[in-house]
Every structure is written in C-alpha cells, then in structure tokens.
Amino acid sequence: MLGSTGKMPKLAPTGDESPSSAVLPEELIWEILLRVPVRSLVQFRCVCKSWNSLISDPQFAKDHLRTTATDPNQRLVSSLMGNPKIVSFSVQSLIQSLSSPARARRFSMSDKFHILGSCNGLLCLCDIHQRCIRLWNPSIRFRSKRFPTGVTPDTGITHHGFGYDHLTDSYKLLVAVEDLNEKVTKVYTFGENSWKVIQNFPCRPTRWLGKFVSGTLNWIAKAAASDDQWVILNFDLGNESYGEVLLPQEGDCNKFCNPVLNVLRGCLCVCFYDSKEARWVVWLMKEYGVQHSWTKLVMIPHFIQDPWIECQHSFFRWYHSLEPLAITENGIIILKTNFSKVVIYNSIDGKLNYLRIRGEHGLHDLHSYHESLVFPPC
C-alpha cells in the first residue's frame, strides 16, 4: 500500500474561497473529500484554488486511494484487437444493465498499446512496434512520457508484471524476454528510468501476466521439483527476489485445468476446477502468504466452462480455465472464460449472463482497476 506521512498541506487563503470552506476546518474538508468519487473530485478542482491544490496534492491522492482500496465500484479495462482504442466500464454498470449491451467509456490512443498491468489506478502500456512503455491514469487522463523497453525486434516479452514498491515509493515493471539464444529477465524502475537485469524465473509460469498484491507479483507455475504440483511463484518488488506461495490444501486441482490467479477485494484469489466437487471453485487468500488463510469464496457450475474440452491449435494445446475479475457483496461474480468471453454469474439464484459491449467487438484482454488521483511518474 502507498506510504503516508500523515501530514496535510495548509490550505492558504486565496481570495476566491467559497463560504463553506471559510467555515469548515481544513482537516474536515480533507476527510470529507477523501470519501468523494474520483470523477467528482476531478470536477471539484474547479471550485477554488485551495481545493485544486488539495485534490492535486500527492499525499491526498495516496490517502484517497487507501480510503477507497476496497471500494466495490471498480472498473474493467480492455484494449481492442487491431484498434488503437481502450475501453473501460464499471462493474456496477455491468450488473445493473444485464438485459442490454454495456456502455463503455472509450479512449482513443495515438498508437496500438498492450496493457502490461494495472496498479493503484495506473495502467502500464507497451507499444511493441515502437518498443516503448508508458504509464497512464485514465481517471485523470494523464500519461507519462515514453520510456524505452530495451526489447529488440528479434526478442519478445514472454512474461510481465507491474506493481508498487512501498519501500522506495516507486512503480516497477518486470519483463522476461527471450529469443532463440537466451532468456533475460529485468526490472524497470519508473522515476529512476533504468533497467536492471535480475535472476530468471526459477520455474516457468503458465500465464504472461503477474498479479500484483501486497508488494509482490504472482504467477501460477509448476513446482520446480515436481511437474504434477501447482504453486504460486511470487516476486517481491522490495527485495527483488522470488518465492513460493502454496495453494489451498483442500480441493482437487485437476492437472488438466490450469489454475488462474487474480485479485479480489484486495486479496489474492485462485480459481480452478475441483474434480471432487465437480465445480469451479474460487478461493480467497485473506492474509497474503499464509496458507491456512485460504477461504472458499464461491463455487461455479461446470456448464459455464466445460473443463474437459481440450482446446487445440496447429502449434500448441491448452485447457479451459476461468478467471475471476470482480465480485460484489451480494454474490455476483464476473468471470473471463477462454477467448476473453465475459460471464456474469449470480451465485445466489444461479442466473447467468454474457457480457455484451455496445458498438465494440474483439476484446483483446481484460484488467480490473480502481479509479485514483495518482499521477504517473514522469
């Protein structure tokens, strides 16, 4: 989580104060605005100079993010295949308008970017063609400058993850690149604008994207000592070292159904097909790194995604999986199936809906993020 100094800037008189700000103590204004949604705060910057100064203050952005970290009103964001455009839609709006296509917020980009991850309201974007990366906060519509990836045309990014290091108060991007001759893993620190080569993965993750939680990036992988055992491979952004987190002891994680990680309610979660239950099961790790804190969150019927159908391609094969994207307090869960199909499942009444987005087709990938006032480091 973002660090805090506990200090608030003085709201100096500017001569344009509203009557309310002249009456309310500065501390109370601060506390009230911490509970206001980001979109409203962006508009409130025009109220007066002192409010603009407060809302633009980096410490206020950190405090606001911490206050709203478990806010259920998160958003999903996706790039579009073959289109320099990014779409975003709120989880709440998806659930409230199940009978009609969802209305998305659209952002036109100057170039075609891939989303390498999200953290604290920031999206890490990569332009493969120009071989550069940048950070973008869609809530305040602010983008950082471009930074070189150091990836040559002959190499490709095989795994990546983006997150926040609270020890240095900096954002970091991990990428693993490889060509026919070698594999290289390195970390980019935004603000320092430098790459550092680190140890390669001790075991190969099954998916490209590492999920950020509690200062770590996390991937599902096969244990180095056993090809039959799944583990969570993590990378600590603070000391830049690898480790392992154990999956739930209960349940039968079938070897033909790849487990999938994500973050729900600020905690790491995993979804896999439990052959004993004959259902997909979502587990939530309430205390990061503590195996006995795994809690069964929801069970999902297998008909949403048939676990036994093997997907074949001319070059490779894979098995079906389900990725949890978001869950509400009343048991409605949003899941991504293979090929980026999105399912909205009500675990209380068993109702099932498929997401449709008005006027858009071909979601390339899906990420969840929380709106924030955090400015990307330049």
Q: How do residues 153-196 score in pLDDT, each as one tens digit?
A: 667 788 999 999 999 999 999 999 887 778 899 999 998 888 99
pLDDT surpasses 90 at 255: no
Q: What average pLDDT score do residues 226-243 get?
A: 90
Q: What average pLDDT score do residues 356-375 get?
A: 76
Closest of 332, 363, 361 to residue 77, by C-alpha: 363
pLDDT surpasses 80 at 339: no
At 23, is the pLDDT very low, low, confident or very high (cuts 50, 70, 90)?
confident
* Bigger pLDDT: 261 vs 70: 261
Q: Note whether 322 and 293 are within 8 A (CB).
A: no
At 316, is the pLDDT very low, low, confident or very high (cuts 50, 70, 90)?
very low
Domains delineated in the chain? 19-67 (no CATH), 75-369 (2.120.10.30)
pLDDT value for 146: 87
pLDDT surpasses 70 at 321: yes
pLDDT value for 365: 75
> Letter for the amino acid at 185?
T
| Range with lowest mean pLDDT among 91-105, 130-144, 171-185 | 91-105
Would you give the DSSP letter of residue 102? Answer: B
* End-to-end Cα spacing for the chain: 21
| Range with lowest mean pLDDT among 16-30, 73-87, 302-316 | 302-316
At 152, is the pLDDT very low, low, confident or very high (cuts 50, 70, 90)?
low
Q: Specify which of 102-116, 286-300, 360-374 reaches the highest per-range mean pLDDT.
A: 286-300
Q: Specify which of 54-58, 90-94, 155-159, 169-173 reaches the highest per-range mean pLDDT.
A: 169-173
pLDDT surpasses 60 at 17: no
pLDDT surpasses 90 at 250: no
Residue/partner pairs of 78-82 with CB below 8 Å, 24 or more apart:
78/115, 78/340, 78/363, 78/364, 78/365, 78/366, 78/367, 79/112, 79/113, 79/114, 79/115, 79/363, 79/364, 79/365, 80/360, 80/361, 80/362, 80/363, 80/364, 81/362, 81/363, 81/364, 82/112, 82/362
CA pseudo-torsion sign 102, 108, 114, 119: negative
Q: What average pLDDT score do residues 273-279 get?
A: 81
pLDDT surpasses 70 at 256: no
Q: Specify which of 264-268, 310-314, 355-359 reaches the highest per-range mean pLDDT.
A: 264-268
Q: Specify which of 84-93, 111-120, 231-240 reaches the highest per-range mean pLDDT.
A: 231-240
Q: Specify which of 15-24, 65-74, 348-357 reaches the highest per-range mean pLDDT.
A: 348-357
| Range with lowest mean pLDDT among 149-153, 277-281, 328-332 | 149-153
- Helix 26-33, helix 58-67: angle, nearest 10: 50
At 281, is the pLDDT very low, low, confident or very high (cuts 50, 70, 90)?
very high
Q: What average pLDDT score do residues 332-358 get?
A: 81
